Structure 1
Amino acid sequence: MKCPHCAYSNPEGVKFCLNCGHEIVDRDENYSIFYLFAHRVDKIPRNERSVEPKFRNIFSRVFRQHSEMEAERLFIVGTGLTTPKIEEVVNTWPKPWLFARVFLIALIAYLGLYLGVSLFENINFIPGLIVVGAFAVPFTTLIFFWEMNAPQNIAIYKIVYVVFIGGILSLLLALVFYDILGNNTNVIVIGICEELAKVIAVIYFVRNLKYRYILNGLLLGAAIGAGFAAFETAGYALRALLSGSFHMLYSTILWRSIFAPGGHVAWAALTGAAVCIVQGDKKFQWSMLIKPKFLGVFLLVVFMHALWDSPILGILPAGHTILTVILWILVFSMIRIGLKEIADKKLELTYCKEKPTPS
């Protein structure tokens, strides 16, 4: 099955090209109105295509059938052999789908563990219930960010490494800051301590110029936030269990999972992207953190974190839901900025190649 976009020969049954990700259309559909329109759009230079968010298109592949080979191809990106050159990166909006499959798998595993505890009353299932329940939604959200990383220059093993090491590093740093500030429980202090801890963890990973793109910072920040959120949820779930209430255990996992996408994962993703914005192609320096482009994002994230923990938000109906929606508008705006950065770099490289050398 030859791809109509890049002429790559794919195995039978593949819905999307394993080389470029373009949808493979059957011969009988080649002359449909949709195909002709898509063919015309494909002739438009990529640097002239819109990278504005079209939410219907972004999630258009979630409910389609995908082969195992397509998933395997996603998991091998980011290595020295599979990372595309910046000229080959598509700067239009990615269409993630794997995150939905990951969530479904985690949900099935959690339901199995739940039945083991509630129906069969086997306490051996409790550790698995807490771990899977704590990681399911943060890791699913992280996979979404991983699929949205258009440069495809970060391997999945690196992401898992950042989740665990970055997550525990940021938690320990937050505890150090709490001790320095006398364990102050003010929501502003909590927001500053936890977000600053995650920023330092992000800097540790993005200081390498290999991960200099805004979308890289967004992904690595999300990985650290996912680890932070999952470990924190597991701790709260254990506290609820030790209080002697299985109802509190289930409730803690449920509500923290529902609002996990609007919490630590997205907060750390935004600050991670802001670090890459101020760093650019230069070696990281601490003075970069006082630049308005970083400080503005960081203070906004601290404010949203403090508002999230504030009792004021509880007065508003669906307060956390409203805050989550606002946060994800900011996330998609940052993704748009990241895609524009790639488009600009591609144009710059094209100009440098075409620019005549002085004789």
Structure 2
Amino acid sequence: MAGRRRPAWAVILITGLLLWLATVAVTFLTANANLVPTLVLLGSFLVPVTFVAWAYSHRDEVITVEALFRLFVVGGILGVLGASILESYLLHPSAWMFVGVGLIEEGVKLVALWLLTRHLAGKSVRSGVVLGATVGFGFAAFESAGYALNALITVDGLSLRALVETEILRGLLAPFGHGLWTAILGGLLFATASRAGRFRLTGALVLGYLGVSLLHALWDSMHGIAVYLVYALTSTARQQALFAQGWIPRPTDEQVHLFTLFSIGGTIVITLIALLWLRRVWRSGRHVS
């Protein structure tokens, strides 16, 4: 009796991971710079494409492969371009910069999703979750490619090690960032059209947008929040005096451990909040006629 077929997302993940590992090995062995684009594209797109394939298996029938492809590529690029323009002109280094990043990036992804799906028939909450996640993962893929290239180029020349480390980190975090946040927004957006058939700007959608933007901002700023908490709770008089003079004192082992606990723990808490929120939005689709 033939064995059960692996789901498409598992085939994509396994095949893509093997190809990425082979590309890493050959690139390191041969130092062939022509392989760098392949390495960047495979590493940046593997996890987002895998999760879009998984989301496709949970879609409503109205969603086609062509629609997912358009939202992933066009929606992702529109989001990246819009965020780049707005962040360049509107944001400046400050304590509130990450709040601005969250508002801008979640805003442009929401607008891209709105524009690309406004004529879609059968706007269910679950379709909104899947299509929102697709736009978010497209954004994440193109953004990760940029981060990988930035990591590659250093003052000492090209660093393949930095590129690979960046792709591994971004790949591990990808399921819990842009795709998750925009999935929530997609479900909330489509909920506004479940009865009227067209999108509407509602108070629930605005509050959802602000909430998702806040989660995004907290995620991005967790490193700084962890540093502040460690300093506020454990800094010595000598360390405070060095800070006041503009010096950065060497942290103690306890402070290093606390920083790791706060930064990782905070990220986990933010992710759990977003996952529970998404679960609630997804289940709400059962009760909408």
The answer to whether structure 1 residue 159 and structure 2 residue 159 are counterparts is no
TM-score by length of 1: 0.64
Instruction: Pick closer, same or farther for the CA change 1:146–1:213 going to 2, 3 Å.
Output: same
- Of 337, 345, 351, the match for 2:284: 337
Relative to the length of structure 2, the TM-score reads 0.79
1:244-290 CA distance string (max 9 Å, x none): 322211111011110101101111111111111112232545xx32x
| Higher Cα Rg, which structure | 1
| 1:68-104 Cα deviation digits (max 9, x unpaired) | xxxxxxxxxxxxxxxxxxxxxxxxxxxxx43222211
User: Are the equivalent residues in 1 in contact too, given 2:185–2:209 (CA < 8 A)?
Assistant: yes
Deviations 1:155-180 (A, max 9, x none): 11221121111111111221232244
Q: Of residues 236, 254, 259 in structure 1, which corresponds to 2:147?
A: 236
Q: Residue type of the partner of 2:65?
A: I
Is residue 207–residue 283 contact of structure 1 (8 Å, CA) maintained in 2?
Answer: no
Of 321, 324, 327, the residue aligned with 2:268 is: 321
Secondary structure of 1:259's counterpart equals helix
1:136 equivalent in alignment to 2:46: yes
Which one of 265, 273, 278 corresponds to residue 187 of structure 2? 273
Matched letter for residue 66 of structure 1: R
Distance 1:281 1:113 in 2: 49
Distance 1:184 1:227 in 2: 27
Q: State the partner residue of 1:88.
A: none
Q: Where does residue 83 of structure 1 map in the other structure?
A: none
**Structure 1 stretches (4+) deviating beyond 6 angstroms?**
none
Residue matched to 2:5: 66
Report the counterpart of residue 206 of structure 1 in structure 2: 117
Percent same amino acid at aligned positions?
29
Tell me the CA shift for residue 317 of structure 1. Answer: 4.6
Distance 1:136 1:313 in 2: 30
Q: Distance in 1 between matches of 2:79 and 2:163?
A: 25
Q: Report the Cα offset of residue 338 of structure 1.
A: 2.0
Larger fraction in helix: 2
Deviation string 1:193-248 (CA, Å, 9 cap, x unpaired) is 10000010010122124141111111111111111101100001001111132221
Q: Which residue pairs with 2:20 in the alignment?
A: 110
Alpha-carbon separation, structure 2, partners of 1:100 and 1:174: 32
CA contact (8 A) 1:178 1:193 kept: yes
Q: 2:159 aligns with which of 245, 249, 259?
A: 245
In 2, distance between residues paired with 1:144 and 1:125? 28
Give yes or no for the alignment of 1:197 onto 2:108. yes
Q: Which has the higher contact order (CA 8 A, sep 6+)?
A: 2
3-state SS in 1 of match to 2:196: coil
Helix, strand or coil for the counterpart of 2:5? coil
- The answer on 1:100 being equivalent to 2:13 is no
Equivalent residue, structure 2, for 1:355: none
Q: Which runs of 5+ in 2 are unaligned?
A: 228-258
Q: CA deviation at 1:294?
A: 0.9
Q: Distance in 2 between matches of 1:339 and 1:146?
A: 18
CA contact (8 A) 1:211 1:217 kept: no
Q: Distance in 2 between matches of 1:210 and 1:326?
A: 31
Gaps of 5+ in 1: 1-11, 16-64, 68-96, 346-359
In the TM superposition, what are the counterparts of 1:174-193 in structure 2 within 5 Å? 174-183=83-92, 186-193=97-104
- 2:192 alignment partner, SS class: helix
* 1:325 positional shift: 3.0
Instruction: Report the aligned-residue RMSD.
Output: 2.1
Counterpart residue type for residue 277 of structure 2: L
Deviation at 1:144, TM superposition (A): 1.9
Q: CA contact under 8 A between 1:313 and 1:320: conserved in structure 2?
A: no
**Is structure 2 residue 225 aligned with structure 1 residue 312?**
yes
